Structure 1
Amino acid sequence: MESGRTVQLFLIRHGLTQWNAEKRYLGHSDLPVNRGSLEDYSQLKTFLHKYGTVNVYSSDLLRCRETAAFLFSHQPVTYDARLRELHFGEWEGRTYEDLKHCSMYSSWLDNWESIGPPGGETGISFQERVSSFLEELLEGDSNSAAIVTHGGVIRQIVSSFVNTPDFWRISAPFGKAVILKAEERKEGWMCISLSEEPAAGKEHM
């Protein structure tokens, strides 16, 4: 394994959708971003332009395609279904309040990696497909890439490099890029810096 190579990833969550605003589970359902929500990405667009050309990848779902088109209007974008959010199956469009009395939902909250929503995807399956994309990217010769995707995918990519006890506490904000710089070492890829840009910007929780 070559030692010393570094890769910088710009991990970008898609613009806010109506289901995001209403705190509904949104996985493979193909919703657009809310009208005007991409205005929150103007500072990020300016920030990204100073880096010049990087390889751009995006989930193939509409909300990511719209966000990528806004941020990288003059660059080619590679769409990849492996960058989709976790598939929530029958729980798509439902809220915590809708599901909190469901025993299967409670079991899923406690063990989401091995238990999938009805008609949905287990966490392990989700992790495997995101890892497949990431491994392919790292095997290439690019030193930087922008990835327009979903909150869960950003958390999975970051957790691939950073040893963290709580997957769900990894930051995946709207309107910003999580910038991860990793170095290839004998023991594998290691995160050497992690930040969010732009530092000041509108953020929705």
Structure 2
Amino acid sequence: MPVPRLFLVRHGQTASNVARLLRGPSGADDPLDPVGETQARRLAAHLATLGLPDPRVYASPYLRARQTAQAVADALGVPVAVLEGVHEIHPGDWEGRPYEHLLTHAHELRQGEGGFGFPGGETLEQVGTRFRRALHGLPATETPVVVSHGGALSAVLATLLGVDAADAWKERRFAHPNAALTELGRHGERWELVRMADAGHLD
């Protein structure tokens, strides 16, 4: 049974984010930069004020997500668990290309049979499916806080909310600044947004 309440977080800032370059698995060990560390602490302090029932903190296997999650876990007094399946989308042949190409060259990401994703990498649909599968395995009694990545969050939100992934990507509907927080509530079989990509705690 899926959890009734879910928090999704993008990791804090890294040097690659500042350079605005796409990173694949070779960037798995990219750490937070000093700004990212501050963002993680502010995010953690905010989450600690919410009084979440039975909070649990999960992270993508990538270092920047684990570092962000550790700050949150320390503030909530719980451990961090690595959650397979919530890591960043694999950009394949696009690794090293600038973020701007996601908009200016988006036509290159359309694949056969309506798919939308990276040549030599993953589609948004594939990422949304693996991410949703990982969430489905979480105990329903928990309040999970899952620290992931910008592209992966866009993909899973499209999947959970029943939105066309390509349209959402093009419109940047689910774009998350670093350390932004999204909250969802589950009502029967449907997920609903409570707040989306909230970064007010970083001010």
Report the counterpart of residue 71 of structure 1 in structure 2: 72
Consecutive unaligned residues in structure 1, runs of 5 or more: none
Cα gap change, 1:115 to 1:99, in 2 (>3 Å): closer
Matched to 1:78, the amino acid is A
Q: Distance in 2 between matches of 1:35 and 1:65?
A: 15
1:44: which partner in 2? Answer: 43
Contact 1:56/1:78 (8 A) holds in 2: yes
TM score, norm. by length of structure 1? 0.77
- Does residue 171 of the first structure (1) align with residue 140 of the second (2)? no
Which residue number in structure 1 is paired with residue 34 of structure 2?
35
- Partner residue of 2:136? 135
3-state DSSP class of the match of 1:141? coil
Deviation at 1:82, TM superposition (A): 0.4
Structure 2 unaligned blocks of 5 or more: none
Residue in structure 2 matching 1:22, options 19, 24, 27: 19
Q: Deviations over 1:143-171 (max 9, x none)?
A: 41100111122223322333445322213
Judge conservation of contact 1:57–1:145 (CA < 8 Å) in 2.
Answer: yes
Give the direction of change, closer, same or farther, for the CA distance of 1:192–1:110 in structure 2 (3 Å limit). closer
Cα distance in 1 for partners of 2:57, 2:4 equals 14
User: Does structure 1 retain, via aligned residues, the 8 Å contact 2:10–2:147?
Assistant: yes
Measured against aligned partners, the alpha-carbon deviations of 1:106-142 in whole angstroms (never above 9, x if no partner) come to 54334497365343223332222112112223xx322
Question: d(CA) in 2 for partners of 1:108 and 1:35?
Answer: 35
SS at match of 1:78: strand
Q: How does 1:184-203 map to 2 (within 5 A)?
A: 185=188, 188-191=189-192, 193-197=194-198, 199-202=200-203
Return closer, same or farther for 1:116/1:45 CA change in 2, 3 Å cut-off: closer
Alpha-carbon deviation of 1:63?
Answer: 0.8
1:125 matched residue in structure 2? 126
Answer yes or no: is the 8 Å Cα contact 1:87–1:121 preserved in 2.
Answer: yes
Counterpart AA for 1:180: L
Indicate the percent of aligned positions where both proteins have the same amino acid.
27
Look up the match of 2:96: 93
Q: Is the 8 A contact 2:55 2:145 kept in 1?
A: yes
**CA drift at 1:40:** 2.2
3-state SS of 1:42 partner: helix
Using the TM superposition, give the Cα deviation of residue 200 of structure 1 relative to its aligned residue in structure 2, in angstroms. Answer: 4.9
In 2, Cα distance between the equivalents of 1:100 and 1:48?
A: 32
How far did 1:197 drift?
Answer: 4.5
Taking structure 2 as the reference length, the TM-score comes to: 0.78
- In 1, Cα distance between equivalents of 2:153 and 2:174: 8
Structure 1 residues 163 and 17: CA distance shift in structure 2, 3 A: same
Number of aligned residue pairs: give it: 191
Q: Distance in 1 between matches of 2:133 and 2:195?
A: 22
CA RMSD of aligned residues (A): 3.0
